[in-house]
Amino acid sequence: MSRLILFNKPYDMLSQFTDRGTDTARATLSDCIAVPGVYPAGRLDRDSEGLLLLTDDGRLQSRIADPKYKTAKTYLAQVEGDVTDAALATLRRGVDLKDGLTRPADVERIDDPGFWPRNPPIRVRKAIPDCWISLTIREGRNRQVRRMTAAVGHPTLRLVRWRIGDWTLDGLQPGEWREVQVG
């Protein structure tokens, strides 16, 4: 039976077990997960938080991470400004980025999800409001959600991946993980 770990990756942690490349130590998965033989199914940028799946099954890893399988990934994004209906419509159609048109996204405004405090806190500007959106994509380009929201005039201030396929972050605090059964 395959192992599958749901992990709530904290802000400022690398999505890998070792840190190669700098002289200063950065947080890695090995700081929280001491399970041999599991590897991340996909990535989550250092400045993003939330659900990261790890598995010991190469086929499952591919099914989760490979864009050809179109696994839905839902992000909750705190964005700068009050998102307009026009911006939401553009995200739903697909956004033209430097590397081409994105697939259409499912997107809606949401209430503040009441997440844990982020350390360091996001940049807040008194003269510019912010709001939260839920955005579901079925591809995984580099920094895609951040580039999409910026392209429609609402840069991302905080990004939390909430769902991958049927798995969610529900009940996990930053740095916590749990193993789930998969067939």
Work out whether the CA dihedral 17, 115, 72, 109 comes out positive or negative. negative
Query: Do the beta carbons of residue 178 and residue 3 sit within 8 Å?
Result: no
CA atoms within 13 A on the CB side of 153: 11
The answer to whether residue 66 is catalytic is no
Q: Which of 12, 19, 31, 45 is catalytic?
A: 45
Cα dihedral 49, 51, 55, 61 in deg (nearest 10)? -90
Active site residues: 45
